[in-house]
Structure 1
């Protein structure tokens, strides 16, 4: 299954991601990969024919996980067997049958562990098992598509047409079909490896001359489900051949593969014919377009190709039958109707009482996840994953000039350490004569903590020229404080001063001890 060794060959193009990256977007799922893993847990019951639905529960756990992250899943299932893979399917069927018979024999011998391994390898996913998953998914409002033939081509179509922004699978064949983004090895927590087609240039083994077309040629030459490789040719030799050859005609290059690689290889005509069929199968396999509701090729037919000549890439059964198959209403083997699901009928959400409380309940609030691809007004989403929203930052101003008006700036100022002027509370006739400390006998000195009175008389012949009026730890004399003020008689008769904000702590203490008459006498005397 897939291209042998391809994932290791292009490991430089892969990077670990969480499926949360696709929140609010759509991913297409290769559901048969989940079905195979889910069937392993109940392989013994399936081999014995006992009823079980463990594989359904396994698939629904992944569906619930995706929806809990806000990701809309589209479950894609395999359809009819492709004529190009007739021999491959025959050999796989024979292997499964041989493992089943061997397991039964080991079970009869009492070798239970060995028998269980054989039963696991003999698991065959039947259309009825796939239909059980489809019915359960429908009840949860999850879209399902049954491909006309291979799910790989259908997944690639959904991705390339923009209906799904990524594909979840375990099959490396998806890259050869031209898928843009593939998520591999995803676990139950949503962690996996993403391979972006744009990142294939990181692979040193491929070089920068590789195109989608050459990548497909390399996969076919190294051996795929549609054509086995020539003896001694793997990914390395196929890659080397395509890097050396400049001839755009790939068939001529293949005929001279021995000369390019200096190997003794004879290319039979059957291989050339098989290469052409394999290439056309990768390009023009039939898929179903859920928006147009038509059976179409994966890529449009070129003018020089007759669709009737590509029967090995699928036979068109018509749009009506193709729609019924895609909806899961028709058995892919017998082509008999087995269900009557109508996507145009109004969808009724099951009551929560009939459902278990799970992640699903949280997802129902997101209407975007509930829009079905079968709705006539459905529009494909963006092809670019949404990156986590980050707050907008102003553009950098480095290297830019801008004239700023200084007048409009109001710079914060520190509080001045000098006494602020009193506005509206000055006593009439009161004015500052000179700085405190410059009055007669008004020397101010630093001293120890003040006495209880706060006054200290000390004569000095020197006058201080420093304004220490508000300096902490300095004590002023009464005469020095009074000498700093002078009074002017603006009116013939001075009225008593109204008590306002104290001029100084010393004067306030003195005035509070005097009567009103004594205060007037003291002011006049000064």
Structure 2
């Protein structure tokens, strides 16, 4: 879900081309997996699966998007979520209920033959389980892509990695990365290109947000940006009913954040959430090393166990693998 401040950030984004993106990208892994699982589906909403009924949409997304990244000079590192903070439990439960309702609505739409509604509800029913995580880790390792395990929120860890200077930008669909202090956020990197939405084909382009420019344009500090997020609602609190981004911006600029919270939510203490955004659990115990893909083991995994087309997998991997007639992987970096 993230924080709903898109309306006040509309003038802060830079639309990019792939030529603007070479560098090291810290990808919010769970966010990317949700995108792959939501979008890579059959017309009736059914995810891609192997003959045994195991979901493979995420593996397709990881393989082909990672190859695309490497071709464009982007060195991805996937950052996985760790243990969520206690005050996120309510949001987690709410999301589980939403997915369950969407799953029932998907079944109903299929019975009625409404494929557009079925696809919509199926996407909303997306969930990440142990199989998704473990198979994603395995494929990324075979592709030679580094993985970082965050102690808590992946976006917080990615933001820290960018601030530390070893990573060029964070990649996520959610604006929380800015609240966590990422100097640069790139959106749409895992979903860019042409795809269908609401029955029509649209083009999705990457877009970049530079935190210093965002704060300057809005006329706020990072702490005030966090306050805006708290007012509209984050993954850790529901926000104040009826308060959107523009209203929250006015409230914070006028110094009325505390008084509005006291009036509308007298039993709510925003302090722990503010502190979590400013000083989240992070780690420096990671190494960023990219290796040549293990082609045969990738083929064994995807084709032998998950029924991928061997021609498609090998054709994709030839773009980044060591070949006598092609560049080595090192040349891409």
* Pairwise same-fold verdict (TM > 0.5): yes
Structure 1 residue matching 2:267: 3-state secondary structure? helix
Structure 1 gap segments, 5+ residues each: 246-252, 259-264, 294-326, 328-342, 370-526
Structure 2 residue matching 1:289: 3-state secondary structure? coil
138-147 or 220-229: which moved more?
Answer: 220-229
- The answer for the alignment partner of 2:278 in structure 1 is 283
Cα distance in 2 for partners of 1:117, 1:201 equals 35
Structure 2 residue matching 1:179: 3-state secondary structure? coil
Q: What is the aligned-residue RMSD (CA, Å)?
A: 3.2
Cα distance in 1 for partners of 2:170, 2:134 equals 21
Provide, for residues 176-228 of structure 1, a one-character-per-residue CA deviation record: whole Å limited to 9, x for no partner: 1111001112314994111111222563xx23xx2222222222222222122
Deviation at 1:67, TM superposition (A): 0.8
Of 240, 246, 253 in structure 2, the residue corresponding to residue 236 of structure 1 is 246
- The answer for the alignment partner of 1:130 in structure 2 is 133
- The answer for the alignment partner of 2:14 in structure 1 is 15
Structure 1 residue matching 2:46: 3-state secondary structure? helix
Structure 2 residue matching 1:12: 3-state secondary structure? coil
Deviation at 1:241, TM superposition (A): 2.7
65-74 or 95-104: which moved more?
Answer: 95-104
Task: Answer with 1 or 2: which has the greater Rg.
Answer: 1
Taking structure 1 as reference, are residues 198 and 134 closer, same or farther at Cα in structure 2, changes over 3 Å only?
A: same
Cα distance in 2 for partners of 1:176, 1:102 equals 34
The answer to whether the aligner puts 1:29 opposite 2:27 as a matched pair is yes
Taking structure 1 as reference, are residues 352 and 231 closer, same or farther at Cα in structure 2, changes over 3 Å only?
A: closer
Report if the CA contact (8 A) 2:144-2:292 is conserved.
Answer: no
Provide, for residues 20-75 of structure 1, a one-character-per-residue CA deviation record: whole Å limited to 9, x for no partner: 3343x311112223322322333525799822423211222111111112221001
Structure 2 residue matching 1:290: 3-state secondary structure? coil
Cα distance in 2 for partners of 1:233, 1:111 equals 35
Of 227, 242, 248 in structure 2, the residue corresponding to residue 217 of structure 1 is 227
The answer to whether the aligner puts 1:360 opposite 2:324 as a matched pair is no
The answer to whether the aligner puts 1:266 opposite 2:263 as a matched pair is yes
- The answer for the alignment partner of 1:77 in structure 2 is 80
Cα distance in 1 for partners of 2:215, 2:330 equals 37
Count of matched residue pairs? 297
- TM-score under structure 1 length normalisation: 0.51
Cα distance in 2 for partners of 1:349, 1:92 equals 36
Structure 1 residue matching 2:320: 3-state secondary structure? helix
Deviation at 1:79, TM superposition (A): 2.7
Structure 2 residue matching 1:171: 3-state secondary structure? coil
Cα distance in 2 for partners of 1:52, 1:223 equals 32
Cα distance in 2 for partners of 1:173, 1:151 equals 10
Report if the CA contact (8 A) 2:184-2:208 is conserved.
Answer: yes
Report if the CA contact (8 A) 2:47-2:56 is conserved.
Answer: no
Within a 5 Å distance, the mapping from 1:456-495 to structure 2 comes to none
Report if the CA contact (8 A) 2:87-2:236 is conserved.
Answer: yes
Deviation at 1:18, TM superposition (A): 2.6
Report if the CA contact (8 A) 2:25-2:167 is conserved.
Answer: yes
Of 139, 142, 159 in structure 1, the residue corresponding to residue 145 of structure 2 is 142
- The answer for the alignment partner of 2:46 in structure 1 is 44
Deviation at 1:96, TM superposition (A): 1.0
Cα distance in 1 for partners of 2:109, 2:242 equals 38
Of 117, 120, 128 in structure 2, the residue corresponding to residue 117 of structure 1 is 120
Provide, for residues 319-357 of structure 1, a one-character-per-residue CA deviation record: whole Å limited to 9, x for no partner: xxxxxxxx9xxxxxxxxxxxxxxx9xxx78636796724
Deviation at 1:267, TM superposition (A): 4.1
Taking structure 1 as reference, are residues 188 and 115 closer, same or farther at Cα in structure 2, changes over 3 Å only?
A: closer
- The answer for the alignment partner of 2:157 in structure 1 is 154
Cα distance in 1 for partners of 2:245, 2:47 equals 40
The answer to whether the aligner puts 1:178 opposite 2:181 as a matched pair is yes
Taking structure 1 as reference, are residues 192 and 86 closer, same or farther at Cα in structure 2, changes over 3 Å only?
A: same
Structure 2 residue matching 1:72: 3-state secondary structure? strand
Taking structure 1 as reference, are residues 12 and 290 closer, same or farther at Cα in structure 2, changes over 3 Å only?
A: same
Taking structure 1 as reference, are residues 366 and 18 closer, same or farther at Cα in structure 2, changes over 3 Å only?
A: farther
Report if the CA contact (8 A) 1:12-1:202 is conserved.
Answer: no
168-177 or 144-153: which moved more?
Answer: 144-153
- TM-score under structure 2 length normalisation: 0.77
